[in-house]
Amino acid sequence: MTTQSNSEAPVVLITAGAAGIGRCMAETFLAQNYRVHVCDISSESIAEFSQANPSATASLADISKVGDVDNLFTEFEKLYGRLDVLINNAGIAGPTGPVEDIEPEDWDQCINIDINGQFYCTRKAVPLLKVAGGSIVNMSSNAAFFGFPLRSAYAAAKWAMIGLTKTWAMELGPHNIRVNALCPCSVNGPRIEGVIERDATERGVETEAIRTLYQSQSSMRLFVDAEDVANMALFLCSTAGSKISGQALGIDGHTESLSSNL
């Protein structure tokens, strides 16, 4: 692994940063001369990301495991010795189905990744961020604004992320650390396609009916792109966003509801 030559450039750590929204964020920050370190659970994704972005660095880590997170930060500190931005991007969609049909192990997996992992990373990042101030960006969802039928674990995790964002903003504000949450609606890509397919199977309908339902939940009748999410993260970490903290920011064309009625 190699680091950028500019040792004064700010450093961002992005969880699940080698693919999907995380990779888009990483490449957006790279384009703005940040030094970028990502972690990911997939060695294949890391290899592809590193080949495309040789100036970035990467670690293999499952952020739902405390030991992996500890090792991640040990490696990160050796590489950079400072941290300006933590983006808690890692998360999974969790199980789809009525609450009585959800298996406890599926619930636990979603909570372990979407909440516990964010906590494990943040507790290790804060001592570094306190040195010179900085920013934490948590990935929540528009599901944090509404109930979300058939998605109990995901809704629980994303609501919890708003509570943690506001709590951490209060704790860390005196140390010049800003904490915000991004709340996108469905983001175009393989992940939402998988959610749509599972929801369609659960309801016994065509996938296009579920896609139309999801899009109709937004006033603008749309899904957003990963670039929309990445650009908002970049704004929050810039001088233009230097007075914004404790906020849950919708990137969703204005979600009206998450009604499950077809």
Position 44 in a domain:
yes
**The pLDDT of residue 262:** 66
Instruction: Report the number of distinct structural domains present in the chain.
Output: 1
* Per-residue H/E/C for 163-230: HHHHHHHHHHHHHCEEEEEEEECCECCHHHHHHHHHHHHHHCCCHHHHHHHHHHCECCCCCECHHHHH
Burial 90-118, CB ≥16 within 10 A → b, else e: bbbbbbbbeeeebeeebbebbbbbbbbbb
Q: What CATH number does residue 104 fall under?
A: 3.40.50.720
Q: Which domain holds residue 112?
A: 11-187+225-251
Position 217 in a domain:
no
Burial 9-35, CB ≥16 within 10 A → b, else e: ebbbbbbbbbbbbbbbbbbbbbeeebb
- Taking only the tens place, the pLDDT of each residue in 124-141 is 999 999 998 999 999 999
- Extract the tokens encoding 109: 């997996």
Position 209 in a domain:
no
Closest alpha carbon to 23 in 54, 45, 1, 51: 45
Position 112 in a domain:
yes
Which portions of the chain are predicted below pLDDT 70?
Answer: 1-5, 260-262
Position 232 in a domain:
yes
**The pLDDT of residue 2:** 36
Position 208 in a domain:
no
Position 6 in a domain:
no
**The pLDDT of residue 199:** 84
**The pLDDT of residue 1:** 37
- Taking only the tens place, the pLDDT of each residue in 21-64 is 999 999 999 999 999 999 999 999 999 999 999 999 999 999 99
**The pLDDT of residue 4:** 40
Instruction: Give the Cα separation of 63 and 15 in Å (integer).
Output: 8
Active-site residue list: 154
Instruction: Give the Cα separation of 229 and 209 in Å (integer).
Output: 25
Q: What is the pTM of this model?
A: 0.90
**The pLDDT of residue 26:** 98
Position 147 in a domain:
yes
**The pLDDT of residue 8:** 84
